[in-house]
């Protein structure tokens, strides 16, 4: 397996890069350290290279991420210290997971590999009938075959370089007539494909090949940075709506509601699971004929008021009757505190958090927005370390009040904000099984786009927020910050 992983690294890394040798060395050292300091993490395997189950490697990756942030963890006094301080160990494992995905996740094994995933329960006739009625009267139906004659092999192949560039720039601007898009990156996207138009032409024609492997193709998206998995999977859906499902943040949020198990963080794995579940939906329900329509269903239950209400009703049996979580118990606790909210309000508030962990509450001053959020986090959290309530200042002009900044006078030190916002995010990454809450009060006191831009960006891209250059700070703050799925952000205006 090591030889195959080495070959994979050499084929996927830039020419002249030393990343392959560094990653191979990192896994060798990690084997030694784990056997000595945490042998139970190898689960009986003699080496990391013996592990072919991506889920096992994923759990090991999460463990290593946590240990790299500790000064007294398994890497204490281990040399070279740069391997754990700069995150080489976790980066090597992440690359190994990509290798396993590329090697083992294929069309023939998707259903068996993700057999643990299924729909939470049968979809109700009520929601299916409402969806079909909405779909037949919505622009989604109008756009179902919008690119039928445009995205066709001979048509794309015959386009001049300039025409091909113009077509895909417009395609990205339009979101493939499926999703909204951030046009701030259009110029960069156009520049990249213009500079590599020959390779890009080959890339977009690949899906028409009879032996096309979409997972391998998606793994190569890094060569065209601003194409993105959202635009790329929409393009695949436009190539063949019966084979390929679109995948973006909206789809992820929807299937986290529909699935019995939360989708993994890996986009390729999550895409494969969504494809598998959508196939089951098409087989089970006459309301869906293809993957374009199951994608439209995700818009209905995530972005349309009627669909949101209906999916919340569908979820209520799981949310309200669950012994571990009861809205009735929360309502009872509110009554005991003298706070009165309707059951409908509480149900919609909690369902909104589960639908998308970023909720905006608006209302008149004194209407109880802050009290509701405060009461909920104090009720559901074990202690105060799981939440931070931050009043937005009128003088916030950048991200520093939330994310802090490197100390210019002491380069190895990072100044964290006193309000605890950064600490909550870090703790959420370290404790994925617990919920954490960042609550911003009076968000409109300052320009949101100034202090909250990094958060809004990574919520859509699932990338990391860079805080400082790797290796320059050593006081427990990571150089790049992830917003994990167990972090819930609530803002009031």
Predicted confidence (pLDDT) per residue in 215-258, tens digit: 999 988 888 878 889 999 999 999 999 999 999 989 999 999 89
pLDDT at position 99 is 79
CATH number for the domain formed by residue range(s) 324-492:
3.40.50.300
Give the burial string for 336-360 (b: 16+ CB within 10 Å, else e): eeeeebeeeebbbbbbbbebbbbbe
Give the burial string for 141-152 (b: 16+ CB within 10 Å, else e): eeebeebeeebe
Question: Would you list the domain boundaries of the chain?
Answer: 2-104, 125-309, 324-492
Instruction: Summarize pLDDT for 384-427 with one digit per residue, the tens.
Output: 899 999 999 999 999 999 999 988 888 778 889 999 999 999 99
Averaged pLDDT, 295-318: 85
Q: Of the candidates 91, 102, 111, 121, which has an alpha carbon nearest to the alpha carbon of residue 18?
A: 91
Q: What is the 3-state secondary structure (H, E, C) of 367-411?
A: CCHHHHHHHHHHHHCCCHHHEEEEECCCCCCCCHHHHCEECCCCC
E-strand stretches of 262-376 = 358-361
Spatial contact of 412 and 468, defined as CB atoms under 8 Å apart:
no
Instruction: Summarize pLDDT for 49-92 with one digit per residue, the tens.
Output: 888 777 788 788 888 888 888 888 898 888 888 888 877 888 88
Q: With 60 as the cut, is the pLDDT of residue 340 above it?
A: yes
Q: With 70 as the cut, is the pLDDT of residue 162 above it?
A: yes
High-pLDDT (> 90) share of the chain, %: 31
Instruction: Summarize pLDDT for 258-302 with one digit per residue, the tens.
Output: 988 788 878 888 999 999 999 989 988 889 999 999 999 999 999
Select the more confidently predicted residue: 420 or 182: 420
Select the more confidently predicted residue: 393 or 40: 393
Q: Of the candidates 447, 436, 450, 390, which has an alpha carbon nearest to the alpha carbon of residue 416?
A: 390
Q: How far apart are CA 204 and CA 234, in angstroms?
A: 12
**pTM given for the model:** 0.51
Select the more confidently predicted residue: 369 or 460: 369
pLDDT at position 318 is 47
Q: With 80 as the cut, is the pLDDT of residue 317 above it?
A: no
pLDDT at position 337 is 76
pLDDT at position 296 is 95
Averaged pLDDT, 189-195: 92
Spatial contact of 13 and 29, defined as CB atoms under 8 Å apart:
no
Query: Token match 């390729």: residue?
Result: 268
């Amino acid at each position: 397996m090591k030889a195959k992983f080495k070959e994979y690294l050499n084929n996927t890394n830039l020419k002249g890069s030393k990343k392959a040798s560094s990653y191979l060395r990192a896994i060798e050292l990690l084997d030694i350290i784990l056997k000595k300091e945490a042998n139970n993490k190898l689960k009986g395997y003699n080496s990391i290279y013996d592990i072919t189950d991506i889920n096992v490697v994923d759990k090991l990756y999460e463990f290593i991420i946590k240990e790299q942030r500790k000064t007294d963890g398994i890497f204490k006094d281990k040399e070279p210290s740069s391997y754990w301080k700069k995150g080489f160990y976790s980066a090597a494992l992440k690359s190994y997971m990509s290798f396993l995905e590329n090697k083992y996740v294929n069309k023939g094994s998707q259903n068996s590999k993700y057999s643990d995933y299924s729909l939470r329960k049968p979809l109700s006739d009520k929601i299916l009938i409402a969806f079909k009625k909405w779909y037949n009267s919505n622009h989604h139906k109008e756009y179902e075959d919008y690119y039928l004659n445009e995205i066709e092999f001979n048509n794309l192949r015959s386009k001049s370089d300039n025409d091909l560039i113009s077509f895909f720039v417009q395609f990205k601007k339009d979101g493939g007539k499926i999703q909204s898009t951030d046009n701030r990156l259009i110029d960069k996207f156009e520049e990249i494909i213009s500079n590599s138009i020959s390779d890009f032409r080959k890339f977009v024609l690949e899906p028409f090949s009879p032996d096309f492997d979409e997972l391998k193709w998606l793994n190569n998206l890094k060569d065209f940075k601003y194409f993105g998995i959202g635009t790329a999977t929409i393009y695949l859906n436009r190539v063949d709506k019966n084979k390929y499902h679109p995948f973006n943040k909206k789809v992820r949020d929807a299937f986290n509601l529909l699935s019995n198990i939360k989708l993994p963080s890996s986009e390729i794995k999550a895409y494969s699971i969504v494809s598998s579940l959508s196939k089951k939906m098409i087989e089970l329900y006459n309301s869906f004929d293809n993957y374009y329509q199951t994608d439209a269903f995700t818009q209905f239950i995530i972005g349309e008021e009627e669909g949101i209400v209906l999916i919340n009703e569908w979820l209520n049996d799981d949310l309200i009757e669950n012994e571990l979580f009861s809205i009735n118990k929360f309502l009872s606790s509110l009554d005991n505190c003298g706070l009165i909210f309707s059951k409908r309000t509480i149900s919609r508030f909690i369902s909104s958090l589960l639908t998308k962990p970023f909720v905006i509450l608006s209302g008149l001053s004194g209407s109880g927005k802050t009290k509701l959020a405060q009461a909920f986090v104090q009720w559901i959290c074990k202690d105060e370390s799981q939440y931070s309530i931050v009043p937005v200042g009128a003088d916030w002009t950048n991200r520093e009040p939330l994310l802090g900044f490197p100390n210019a006078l002491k380069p190895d030190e990072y100044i964290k904000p006193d309000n605890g916002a950064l600490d909550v995010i870090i703790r959420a990454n370290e404790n994925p099984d617990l919920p954490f809450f960042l609550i911003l009060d009076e968000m409109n006191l300052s320009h949101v786009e100034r202090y909250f831009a990094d958060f809004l960006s990574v919520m859509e891209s699932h990338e990391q927020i860079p805080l400082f250059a790797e290796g320059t700070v050593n006081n427990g703050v990571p150089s790049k910050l992830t917003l994990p799925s167990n972090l819930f952000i609530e803002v009031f205006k």
